[in-house]
A and B are shown apart, each in its own frame.
Chain A
């Protein structure tokens, strides 16, 4: 190591403030070249992530625009009938957009209160031993593959829905909402819990000193203080719910109806998944499917931007 020090007088070679063994000595260009090569290599690695995002966006836009141009933006986004293989094909995706919105909204309405309360429980109320048992359970829920959720939904929930509500068939928007709510629970719980734990103890101690009970402190002081983190968790849940495909394919039926709680419906994701395999290459049907994917992508981007804005506000 000392020999190397002597023969490589300019250690960093990139102008950082590092100590030099022999100031003013001649640089060895071989080492500098090597360092530059490694720098470029790492720079490329870093740029690859940006490259992927640009590539995916551009590809989706490029594939999705032709159909929108041919069908017409208003007809496409607001048309109520999707009949892609009929003799007179129609390509209105309003049923899919509304189903995705209602399904996500339903999942949030059910999942957020339960998740939020569980997070409060874990962060503030639970005895440490109990929390140590529940927290890994939540992490496990987060790791279960979505097909497993779909399988249980298909085998347990769908027949149950059929029996309870006396329907001809249980695969419906309702079943999908329940499955989605269960799937977004872990994300909401873990992010909200982190946000709640980050509330400074001084806030809580001040509130307790003023005579509030523990529960009052939690709900009147800690929760508002952690509100942007909790909002971020909701947005995360929304993102997960709107992008879910496999579990929904197994529980929501597959008919392009306008959304109704107990009818078989198609989401934006399942619309793409179910017809992609048999749409002929180059046909308008296939290009319409790309356009649906583009619409989905735009929704997700909007949600991501919202998430970033919320997170930035939290750190400010």
Chain B
């Protein structure tokens, strides 16, 4: 009886592994390192794993791009890890990933890598839908972030303590927010969360909360404020009237070539074909 149970369990387990089974059309072995970059228009030849790592704000954009790419190139697996822009850049520098993702531009001390802008993104200032406040100036937002203004009634809202939700120190969104509002190293956060999605969820569930998140992540559960009268949208980000915005970058190691699969994905993401996907994901494509 025991033997049957053991056999059955092993069978189920093996079936489970086989569920991930797949086949490739490619006749060549997976290419780990090949110096020459191959044409993106030869999908049947591509196979291997492309590791992308970094910004959580770029999750939807990279998700849509990689899924479309994988549907065209069945032999390739594109992995995404949402660890923050800072990590994305350091992974690209050390070679731990093929393509790093950063939702901010490179700093002067971040050498050895090249950033390619793939989209522009607005940083929405979000509040709970129950909050009556609908518009704030950049100065008011900075004051809320540093704790100078600590009660909602000082900016026209209800009487209640302000909970400013921010991101962890390696976040590109935080870097963009703090540099544009001039609050670097001065913010007093009630909470430091590790992803854009978490900030949105936190603000959606807390009537006193205000936070910043990528425009692509904003949904109906939160309300995006207008900044100085300008609402965040694709047009206002593109023409610059929405002040709080930053670039989505693909970060690659300087001087080293990507694997054929990674290069193909890179070319696909920066091509005109990807513009529609990027726009559908909520960011503003730059390759028009």
Interface residues of A, Cβ cutoff 8 Å to B:
83-87, 159, 162, 167-169, 171, 253-255, 264, 274-275, 277-281
Contact = CB atoms under 8 A, between A and B. Distances in A.
A275 B94 contact: no
Given A87-B185, A169-B163, A278 B193 contact: no
A84 B86 CA distance: 14
13 contacts: A85-B169, A169-B208, A253-B190, A253-B191, A254-B192, A255-B191, A264-B190, A277-B87, A277-B170, A278-B83, A278-B84, A278-B86, A279-B170
A84 B169 CA distance: 9
Contacts of B208: 168-169
B215 to A, nearest CB: 22
A254 B193 contact: yes
Contacts of A253: 190-192
Contacts of A169: 163, 165, 190-191, 202, 206, 208-209
Contacts of B192: 253-255, 264, 274
Contacts of A85: 169-170
Given A162-B206, A278-B83, A280-B86, A168 B169 contact: no
A281 B162 contact: no
A253 to B, nearest CB: 5
- Among A87, A277, A281, residue most surrounded by chain B Cβ atoms (within 10 Å): A277
Interface string B206-250: 101100000000000000000000000000000000000000000
Contacts of B270: none
Interface residues of B, number: 26
A270 to B, nearest CB: 11
B135 interface: no
A254 B193 CA distance: 7
A258 to B, nearest CB: 14
Tell me if A's interface is mostly helix, strand, loop or mixed. Answer: loop
B161 interface: yes
Contacts of A86: 185
Interface string B60-97: 00000000000000000000000110110010001000
Nearest to A87: B185
Pick the 4 closest A-B CB pairs, nearest first.
Answer: A278-B170, A168-B163, A85-B169, A278-B86
Contacts of B194: 254, 274, 277
A279 B170 CA distance: 8
Contacts of B193: 254
Given A253-B191, A255-B192, A275 B90 contact: no
Contacts of B169: 84-85, 275, 278
Given A86-B185, A279-B170, A281-B90, 20 more contacts: A85-B169, A159-B205, A168-B160, A168-B190, A169-B163, A169-B191, A169-B202, A169-B206, A169-B208, A169-B209, A171-B191, A254-B193, A254-B194, A255-B190, A264-B191, A274-B192, A274-B194, A277-B83, A277-B170, A278-B86
Contact of A275 (B168, B191, B202): B168
Interface in B145-172: 160-163, 165, 168-170
A225 B171 CA distance: 56
A152 to B, nearest CB: 15
